[in-house]
Chains A and B, each alone.
Chain A
Amino acid sequence: MMFEAILLTVATAATPLLIAALGELVVERSGVLNLGVEGMMIMGAVCGFAAAQMTGSAWIGLIAAICAGAAFSLLFGFLSLTLATNQYATGLALTLLGLGASAMIGESFVGMPGVRMQSISIPGLTEIPFIGKFLFGQDPIFYISIALTAAVAWFLFRTKAGLTLRAIGDNHTSAHALGVPVLRYRYLAVLFGGACAGLAGAQLSLVYVPQWVENMTSGRGWIALALVVFASWRPWRVLAGAYLFGAVTIGQLHAQALGIGIPSQFMSSLPYLATIIVLVLISRNKRLTLMNTPASLGKAFVPDR
């Protein structure tokens, strides 16, 4: 039972990281670096919470969060794509704006218990020992996150549109010369990234901890950003990274509760260390990594005519 309980806790901790990182992965594959993940995520968290609170439906909250994340990313898109501003600065500004704006929107929702998104239950399957609850008894966002990983992997590496998106990320000038609508692709990628970040935020305020408090993302957007790089822009590696991070986080808490006497400060830094080490190890083939790195990442694109 303990094994299953730990597995469930790990999944809940890993899901927001996975979803936000998948969104950012698509954005970066198109050659755009959006450092505003944390800001979009917290906007998703507050809007999802507020909508669910006002309507009583977690699903409406979820949709509101996705829309909020996407709408917020549009601001980034307009500035960095249409006006070709510096992507680093614009993304950072988006994070700061998101943290401030969400605090303002959420002010009247502080101290209210939220609406929890219910976990599914399939008679006969959910009761299977050890893995029943993990496979068949979790909240809908967990299943969405797994499906999303598969979908992103399929889209990027098995469809023509995915190939085009990667081509833009590698060399936007050549893509443009070939007649590919670079900015349209990038806008759609940025919107997708925003929607994912919003969804990740909703997972926080509707499943993980059903409440609204300022700054409740506590840096998860930044971890998602780091995961994308360490996973060398590969969707399934992002999944592996997110679960590894979650597992070590939860593992160190359990180790502490067992009282095994390793300094807690060290244990708290373990998830970061372990994830970095493992992801660096699996992507140490330099040629492969270079191949996966979008070459025009972070560079503004101004069509010459």
Chain B
Amino acid sequence: MKKYILGLAAGLGLASLAVTGAFAADKLKVGFIYIGPPGDFGWTYQHDQGRKEMEKALGDQVETTFLESVPEGADAERSIERLARAGHKLIFTTSFGYMDPTVKVAQKFPDVKFEHATGYKTAENVSVYNSRFYEGRYVQGVIAAKMSKVGVAGYIGSFPIPEVVQGINAFMLGAQSVNPDFKVKVIWANSWFDPGKEADAAKALVDQGVDIITQHTDSTAPMQVAAERKIKAFGQASDMIKFGPETQLTSIVDNWGPYYIERAKAVIDGSWKSHNVFEGMKEGLVVMAPYTNMPDDVKKLAEETQAKIASGELKPFTGPVKKQDGSDWLKAGETADDKTILSMNFYVAGVDDKLPQ
């Protein structure tokens, strides 16, 4: 309900908010900016679950507000500023495209702490937190190569940003570790959330002969198409097993709750410091949904791969790896550093697509 109240307040002028803010002075007001609706059952849904976990864990100490479906770009800046003006002392902006708006607003409000997800620009009061989703994608690639009869998987991408490109490359490398000739077909939806378009993309991929679908868009539509066409698929951001009980192989589940709780606590006790974290399976940020609809040996291999990644024994981006154009990227045994991973803008060999630049 908060969003409606906030919307109303904005309509009446922000004066009313300043008044309510005064009463709740001892509570930490935490704001969230969402790219989609909390009901997308994907990316935003998981952030909202994290928000709820924080409310539950910290109870009276915090009060949370969220603004949903905020477009990336100029609108984002206005929305973030609105939260800052309304007395929020900790603001999470949960999409890559909010990076510059977040940094800009942060300059105007030095006493407000900002946390930007999946970006790379930090400041005195701006932290960056990111998840190594690609670790999960690597495991999915291994499974895909084991499960696919035709040796081709379809990949529905949102936008060609590093976070998504990492996923495609890790998926490819995981698959190649099992089947060196494995192919990946990519379709860019150019949208994070458009169930109809995502379904259309999935149908186009199936019609072109792929028998595994994986997605980096936020709705459950591709999973449903895969179920209807009786092929296998991977979920995205949350466990989508209900949409494909006989279809979902596994899903990368984003587990933001613990991080949100930790950061809110840090603001409350004054220990908050700007940082740039990049966490994955080891820290529990990336969780895999149960391995289903696959034979036991594939499941065992998937679990082993996951365990190796979690322990740090296996790093998905380890050489020898060639880029798509045939040039060398990583020498045998060499692993990619985080800076390269976070700004990844090229494909590894084997991806059947030209990366939009």
Contacts and interface: CB of A to CB of B under 8 A. Distances in A.
Interface of A: 2, 5-6, 9, 13, 16, 100, 103, 106-107, 110-113, 204, 208-216, 218, 220, 249-250, 253-254, 256-259, 261, 263-265, 268
Interface size class of B (residues with CB under 8 A): 35 or more
B197 A249 contact: yes
B188 interface: yes
30 contacts: A5-B207, A9-B200, A9-B204, A16-B196, A103-B37, A103-B39, A107-B39, A110-B39, A110-B45, A111-B45, A209-B195, A209-B198, A209-B219, A209-B221, A210-B224, A211-B221, A211-B224, A214-B36, A215-B37, A215-B69, A215-B193, A216-B219, A218-B194, A220-B196, A253-B200, A254-B208, A256-B186, A256-B187, A258-B208, A264-B190
A2 B206 CA distance: 10
Interface of B: 4, 36-41, 45, 68-69, 154, 160, 185-191, 193-201, 203-205, 207-208, 219-221, 224, 242-243, 352-354, 356-357
B204 A253 contact: yes
Nearest to A250: B200
B195 A211 contact: yes
Contacts of B194: 218
Determine chain A's interface SS by DSSP, over half rule. helix
B191 A209 contact: no
Contacts of A209: 195-196, 198-199, 219, 221, 224
A113 B205 CA distance: 22
- Among all A-B residue pairs, the 7 with the closest Cβ atoms: A214-B37, A264-B188, A261-B354, A110-B39, A253-B204, A268-B190, A218-B194
Contacts of A265: 188, 190, 356
Contact of B207 (A103, A111, A208, A254): A254
Main secondary structure of the interface of B (DSSP, over half): mixed
A265 to B, nearest CB: 6
B197 A213 contact: no
A256 B38 CA distance: 30
Contacts of A216: 195-196, 219
Given A9-B203, A210-B224, A263 B356 contact: yes
Nearest to B37: A214
Residue of B185, B196, B354 with most partner-chain A CB within 10 A = B196
Contacts of A254: 204, 207-208
A81 to B, nearest CB: 26
B39 A253 contact: no
Contact of A257 (B37, B68, B204, B356): B204
Contacts of B354: 259, 261
A271 to B, nearest CB: 10
A268 B356 CA distance: 12
Contacts of B356: 263-265
B16 to A, nearest CB: 20
B274 to A, nearest CB: 33
Contacts of A253: 187, 200-201, 204
B196 A204 contact: yes
A216 B198 CA distance: 11
Contacts of A259: 185-186, 352-354
A187 to B, nearest CB: 30
A97 B297 CA distance: 52
A289 to B, nearest CB: 30
Contacts of A257: 154, 185-187, 204-205, 208
A106 B207 contact: no
Nearest to A16: B196
A113 B41 CA distance: 11
A211 B196 contact: no
B69 A13 contact: no
B190 A2 contact: no
Contacts of A261: 354
B326 to A, nearest CB: 16
B101 to A, nearest CB: 21
A258 B37 CA distance: 32
Contacts of B45: 110-111
Nearest to B239: A111
A264 to B, nearest CB: 4
Contacts of B39: 103, 106-107, 110-111, 212-214
Contacts of A208: 195-196, 199
Contacts of B224: 113, 209-211
A6 B207 contact: yes
A263 B356 CA distance: 5
Contacts of B68: 214
Query: Which of B186, B205, B356: most chain A Cβ within 10 A?
Result: B356
Contacts of B203: 5, 9, 250
A26 to B, nearest CB: 24
Contacts of A13: 196, 200
Contacts of B189: 268
A86 to B, nearest CB: 18
A257 to B, nearest CB: 5
B154 A111 contact: no
Given A214-B39, A253-B204, A111 B242 contact: yes
A14 to B, nearest CB: 11
A110 B45 CA distance: 10
Given A106-B39, A107-B39, A264-B188, A211 B205 contact: no
Contacts of B4: 100
Given A110-B45, A208-B199, A264-B188, 19 more contacts: A13-B196, A16-B196, A111-B41, A111-B242, A204-B196, A209-B198, A209-B199, A211-B221, A211-B224, A213-B39, A214-B40, A218-B196, A253-B187, A253-B200, A253-B201, A259-B352, A259-B354, A264-B190, A268-B189
